[in-house]
Amino acid sequence: MASNLTTDWGGSQSPGDFLEFWHTHREVILVVVICFSSTAWILYSTLPTRRVIKQPPTHSVATAKLAPTKPVVLNTENLEAPVEALPQDAVAHGPRRIKGELRKPEATRKVSSFEGSRRTQVLIFYSSLTTTTEKIANDFARNLSASLEGDAERKDLFCDPSVLDLAQIDYDEYFINPPKPVDSTTPVEYFYLLLIPSYNIDTINDNLLEHLQETHHDFRIDTAPLSGLLGYSVFGLGDREGWPTEEEGFCFQAKEVDRWMAKLTGRKRAYPLGMGDKKQDLKNRLGEWAEGMTDVLKLAATTGSLGEGVPGSGDADESDFEYASGEDDDEVVVEESATLKKKKKNNNKKTTNIDDVEDLGRIMKSNQASPNDSKGPTPIAIDFTTYKKSNAKKAVAQTVKEMVPKSSPTYTSLTKQGYSIVGSHSGVKICRWTKSALRGRGSCYKYSFYGIASHQCMETTPSLSCSNKCVFCWRHGTNPVGTTWRWVVDPPEMIFEGVKAGHYQKIKMMRGVPGVRAERFAEAMRIRHCALSLVGEPIFYPHINEFLGMLHAERISSFLVCNAQHPDQLAALKAVTQLYVSIDASNKESLRKIDRPLHRDFWERFQRCLDILREKRFKHRTVFRLTLVKGFNIEDEVEGYADLVERGLPCFVEIKGVTYCGTSTSAGAGLSMANVPFYAEVTEFVTALNKKLNERGLDYGLAAEHAHSCCVLIASGRFRVDGKWHTRIDYTRFFELLEERGADGDWKPEDYMGPETPEWATWGKGGFDPRDERVDRKGRKIEVS
């Protein structure tokens, strides 16, 4: 007889009833069971997890070597249970478990208040086999203590730095979460410094790297569990004798540690990776790194922030524009064909070429057509003073206005593109080459040709306004235009200080960027060159000579580019290191089409400028800058360009292909990728031009090239010594001449001619500095052939 079963689904049931119930409700039961188990698993897996095992060494913090100053006191009670407290088999065989809480990314956490008694604890970690790094770490801590002690304003913000030997500590206590301070009433923020010598044999470094990597990949903890740190920085020691380059292993482990720490801290790199060669430059490199790092440390301790540009405290907003805003200072670009097609369609109805004054009016109207449309084109400021008397009155009334007021769309547009606007009419911006050189990825062609170190170059203009609207200029549509100065004039001192501050601020924003090296970063904090060729026309600024004088007084070289539309200002120009004139076409019609000048007498102005340049050629290093645009100014124009060269007799002719820029905001001038010449086409043109010049008995030759920038340099025979080109500049000599003889002084460009052009930069060699790493636009490495 079947026994009756009492079940909790109610009543007395027989097994038959049970089966029947099961068949009827099994789906529901299964769903309930599945839901229950999933919930239980989720709850289990989100409970605070605990890491309990780790590969050796398993010394507790108590055994760590501490600085000979005051030892760091860490509250080991607050730390998780020691390994011994757990069953032995779990330690030996169980899965790796994680201790510590789940942390939200830094960005989502509330920023702590930095008022009150919060303090910063610097922990200096090191590894060392042959004691060099150990000694450095201890000296470093002593010096840091002394430096903080001597800083009355900040000393209360710091605990004494502590030194920790990576062979003695338990990584779990430092590299999963920041340690917890002893005194919970005084919040402490940790700042990690890691001094890492590289070893291509098994050392404690491998354990550390493995630990950092595992922690990052451990799915049970946040990928950036150290984001609670105030910041970190790594310094590597190596030996170039055995490992000459980074590719061959120089400081490779410091690079790795830096990379993993960036991930674990959510990119809290406070200062770029420093690297020193034990046998050569260790002292200098370490000194630079320590100095810069200490400044950042003090800033971070005072403000609780790593400063602009470092994630968690603001971003370098211009990075989005890295490639959108042209390659270099005076780059010219064409826009993406899709955008272009749209614009072309629109332009069928309203051409933007300025053929006469009516066109100007038409453009004004079209720009004003939809005043409420914020996405519409920026209104173009046009000065009519050279056209109609009645408008002259308007201009007088406008003289007190600012060129780029803060409230203007132009200001918004330029700052969005990464410019810092200084005063009311000047701007500064760091170019992509400056960023590239900071990361050891190559300098612009001006390094190959003239020895300009891109990471020490400031790109600026004291006049954001221009008198042309060149079809290929990526800035037009955003920058103001005019034929005469009719705005408030800012004093040169204010502009000079402002642009330097703006430049340095932008360099500092690169501090946390991967790949930036401490050595170049430190060098970049000393401007050596100034490219006066950003948006606008620098010689338009009424105090340009005073501004140049200020640059030179600080031994900053000046490369000034002008548009050949201001002969009076050009004639009055005092000493510059290198003087450029843009030559965008070889004849009047072509120039009108391509530069779209606002001056009616543009061609006469242009020719006068060439004559002035001819006169100046024994005083300044004069340069013609040609930008080749297929379909606009290449075909059948070789002869015409040769005429211009013959007229101006410049020291150099730089020929550059227009550059493609996928997201340019250029106002739609009917250009597309088809207008971008291939390098082979540029070299073909250059060879033809050089031949023409030689046929006319002019002593010019193909001197240098930078294939990456699609740029070639033709030089006058004046810069050829014993059959070798000397296109580079002796900057020191330039400043000596200036100081000896004044800005009107009597000297020739040959007097500050530099050393021989490096072999790799000469014609036929490509022009890429072999010391740099070559990468494509996405940062992928390219083999140099």
Binding footprint of ligand SF4 on the chain (CB under 6 A):
328-329, 431, 433-434, 444, 446, 452, 454, 457, 459, 531
- The helix/strand/coil state of 775 is strand
In this chain, which of 112, 200, 368, 694 binds ligand FMN, going by CB under 6 A? Answer: 200
Q: Which does 220 bind (CB under 5 to 8 A by kind): ligand FMN, ligand SF4, none?
A: none
List, in sequence order, every beta strand (DSSP E) within 391-476.
420-422, 426-429, 457-461
Q: Which does 129 bind (CB under 5 to 8 A by kind): ligand FMN, ligand SF4, none?
A: ligand FMN
| CB-nearer residue toward ligand SF4: 157 or 457 | 457
The C-alpha atoms of residue 253 and residue 259 are separated, in whole angstroms, by 10
- Minimal CB distance to ligand FMN: which residue? 238
CB of 134 to ligand FMN, least distance (A): 6
Q: Which two tokens stand for residue 337?
A: 């064909």
A 10 A CB-CB count for 769 gives 18
- The helix/strand/coil state of 244 is coil
Q: Which does 128 bind (CB under 5 to 8 A by kind): ligand SF4, ligand FMN, none?
A: ligand FMN
Q: Which does 531 bind (CB under 5 to 8 A by kind): ligand FMN, ligand SF4, none?
A: ligand SF4
Q: Which does 169 bind (CB under 5 to 8 A by kind): ligand FMN, ligand SF4, none?
A: none
In this chain, which of 164, 251, 585, 693 binds ligand FMN, going by CB under 6 A? Answer: 251
The C-alpha atoms of residue 231 and residue 227 are separated, in whole angstroms, by 8
| CB-nearer residue toward ligand SF4: 457 or 610 | 457
Residue holding tokens 């169980």? 94
CB-side exposure of 152: number of CA atoms within 13 Å?
A: 0
| CB-nearer residue toward ligand FMN: 128 or 313 | 128
In this chain, which of 177, 198, 434, 467 binds ligand FMN, going by CB under 6 A? Answer: 198
Q: Which does 329 bind (CB under 5 to 8 A by kind): ligand SF4, ligand FMN, none?
A: ligand SF4
Q: Which does 201 bind (CB under 5 to 8 A by kind): ligand SF4, ligand FMN, none?
A: ligand FMN
In this chain, which of 243, 387, 485, 618 binds ligand FMN, going by CB under 6 A? Answer: 243
What DSSP designation does 455 have? G
| CB-nearer residue toward ligand FMN: 281 or 317 | 281
> Which amino acid is located at 221 in the chain?
I
| CB-nearer residue toward ligand FMN: 139 or 554 | 139
User: What are the helix (H) ranges across 166-281?
Assistant: 204-217, 252-264
What DSSP designation does 536 have? S
| Binding segment toward ligand FMN, per CB under 6 A, in 141-149, 196-204, 264-272, 314-322 | 196-204
> Which amino acid is located at 640 in the chain?
G
User: What are the helix (H) ranges across 373-442?
Assistant: 389-398, 409-416, 432-438
Q: Which does 328 bind (CB under 5 to 8 A by kind): ligand SF4, ligand FMN, none?
A: ligand SF4
57 upstream amide cis, omega within 30 of 0? yes
CB of 51 to ligand FMN, least distance (A): 28
| Binding segment toward ligand FMN, per CB under 6 A, in 180-188, 244-252, 260-268, 660-668 | 244-252
What DSSP designation does 756 have? P
The C-alpha atoms of residue 117 and residue 158 are separated, in whole angstroms, by 10
Q: Which two tokens stand for residue 513?
A: 């960027």
In this chain, which of 216, 278, 543, 593 binds ligand FMN, going by CB under 6 A? Answer: 278
Q: Based on the shown chain and the rule CB under 6 A, indicate whether residue 1 belongs to the binding site for ligand FMN.
A: no
Q: Which does 518 bind (CB under 5 to 8 A by kind): ligand SF4, ligand FMN, none?
A: none
Which of 634, 504, 631, 624 has the alpha carbon at shortest distance from 556? 504
| CB-nearer residue toward ligand FMN: 167 or 612 | 167
Residues 6+ apart with CB under 8 A from 497: none
Residue numbers 212-241 binding ligand FMN by CB under 6 A: 237-239
Q: Which does 199 bind (CB under 5 to 8 A by kind): ligand FMN, ligand SF4, none?
A: ligand FMN
What DSSP designation does 130 have? S
Q: Based on the shown chain and the rule CB under 6 A, indicate whether residue 133 belongs to the binding site for ligand FMN.
A: yes
Residue holding tokens 């630990």? 211
Question: In this structure, are strands 12-13 and 119-126 parallel, antiparallel, or unpaired?
Answer: unpaired
In order of 9, 311, 314, 713, 766, the CA distances from 307 in angstroms are 65, 9, 7, 41, 39
A 10 A CB-CB count for 380 gives 22
Residues that bind ligand FMN (CB under 6 A): 128-133, 197-201, 237-239, 242-243, 249-252, 278
